[in-house]
Chains A and B, each alone.
Chain A
Amino acid sequence: MGLIVYYSSLSENTHRFVAKLGLRVARIPVSTGDAPPDVREPFVLILPTYCGDDGKGAVPKQVIRFLNDADNRSLIRGVIAAGNSNFGETFGLAGDVISRKCQVPYLYRFELLGTEEDVANVINGLERFWTSQRSNAL
């Protein structure tokens, strides 16, 4: 199974979801002073959405900094975003922004910590996704 790179704020919501997947992960640190993970293989990004009505600031700055590195950006294969349907039009917007910007599929969206159903969907989905990625590469 491929690598997961994820960001989670101090609330640790996304961290909890990622921990339940039981996959290999690398975390983008909350503190901008800490070094970002050194990633050398294809990965799927998991991140939460933060924004107001105008949709500004949906992608956390720490993630932007990580993806502004061309080497990192060349390895992203898909994105999974968390959010809250209470936010209406901007629900899970970070996934749309990353998908558009990096030209990768928006694989899945979940709310807050995600449910058990979300965890199962993502594990099974990623399994199939990485298999198809490998066969495309051959």
Chain B
Amino acid sequence: MNIAIKPASRVRAINWNRIEDDKDLEVWNRLTGNFWLPEKVPLSNDIPSWATLRPEEQQLTIRVFTGLTLLDTIQTSIGAPKLMEDAITPHEEAVYSNISFMEAVHARSYSSIFSTLCSTPDVDDAYRWSEENEHLQKKSALILEQYRNPDPLKRKIASVFLESFLFYSGFYLPMFWSSRAKLTNTADMIRLIIRDEAVHGYYIGYKFQKGLEWLNAEKRQEIKDFAYELLFELYDNEAKYTETLYDGVGLTEDVKKFLHYNANKALMNLGYEALFPPEACKVNPAILSALSPNADENHDFFSGSGSSYVIGKAVATEDDDWDF
């Protein structure tokens, strides 16, 4: 008996020497170049610093990291695999498999922090808290609902919001401690995670925009309206989540500015305009410089306060001279 193999069911071997979208190779190279493991970071150097935190500050920190672990878990086991199903090119699928694995590394990292710095009962308490906190659960539910959405573009929107917006109520805290010279090794590890999430948000947002190109104006508008509506819903919940976490330490308003700033960046990753006005996004300079050490360096020559440059004679350059 002849068994006919339908062409659609044939499996294609990936060929990295025939790239359909250069962005796939570029991002693959960036992500693999950025690869890291938590063992690289000397977390145990933070033990003395951890002991200086008050019990409520320790509890807040463990809760924040538990919330981040939950998001990484979703992205590893549901988010990235969903995106893989939607991939147009085999290379895109490979990039999502990298994203999926790195999210597992991130989730693993928080457990490394816990085992190095915290007591088991405190961590168990925080995990229980994460299962019971309505805002954290709602945040997960809103994203999971969209991962079940039949429209692949809407799934990508949810994924970009997770990568580029929802993590930041959590990322704020280690940046805050770092700006106070506390838990600086932990902050180094979080910065590696923050860098990875930026590439993830950028890439998924790019693929979203490529998909959008196939739609007519009416459908595009519908997708855009959907994105802003979902962001509003997520933001509303995120503001409440932030209050439950940070009201006790008096940082809520500061965290919200950081949320606005990152919500704008999430929209930009989708190719959309910023939503929150500049005055709502004035992130505490100490947090920005914990995030990016040269962020407070003046790169605004136009304002007149930038460092002055002497315009000298240009030197001859060759390809080899440049840093690439």
Contacts and interface: CB of A to CB of B under 8 A. Distances in A.
Nearest to A105: B309
Contacts of B288: 85
Given A55-B323, A86-B197, A103 B313 contact: yes
A112 B268 CA distance: 7
B309 A85 contact: no
B292 A116 contact: no
A68 B294 contact: no
A78 B309 CA distance: 10
A70 B316 contact: yes
Interface string B264-294: 1100110101100010000000001001111
B155 to A, nearest CB: 20
Contacts of A55: 323
A57 interface: yes
B39 interface: no
Interface string A20-48: 00000000000000000000000000000
Interface residues of A, number: 59
B11 interface: no
A91 B274 contact: no
A116 B267 CA distance: 14
A64 B299 contact: no
Contact of B299 (A10, A89, A92): A92
B297 to A, nearest CB: 9
B206 A106 contact: no
Contact of B269 (A101, A112, A128): A112
B314 A74 contact: yes
B301 A105 contact: yes
A130 B82 CA distance: 50
B314 A88 contact: no
A11 B264 CA distance: 17
Given A11-B206, A53-B195, A129-B302, 11 more contacts: A10-B23, A57-B323, A74-B314, A85-B291, A85-B292, A88-B195, A88-B291, A115-B274, A116-B273, A125-B300, A129-B301
Interface of A: 9-13, 16, 50, 52-53, 55-59, 61, 64-65, 67-68, 70, 73-74, 76-78, 81, 84-89, 91-92, 95, 97, 99, 101-109, 111-113, 115-117, 121-122, 124-126, 128-129
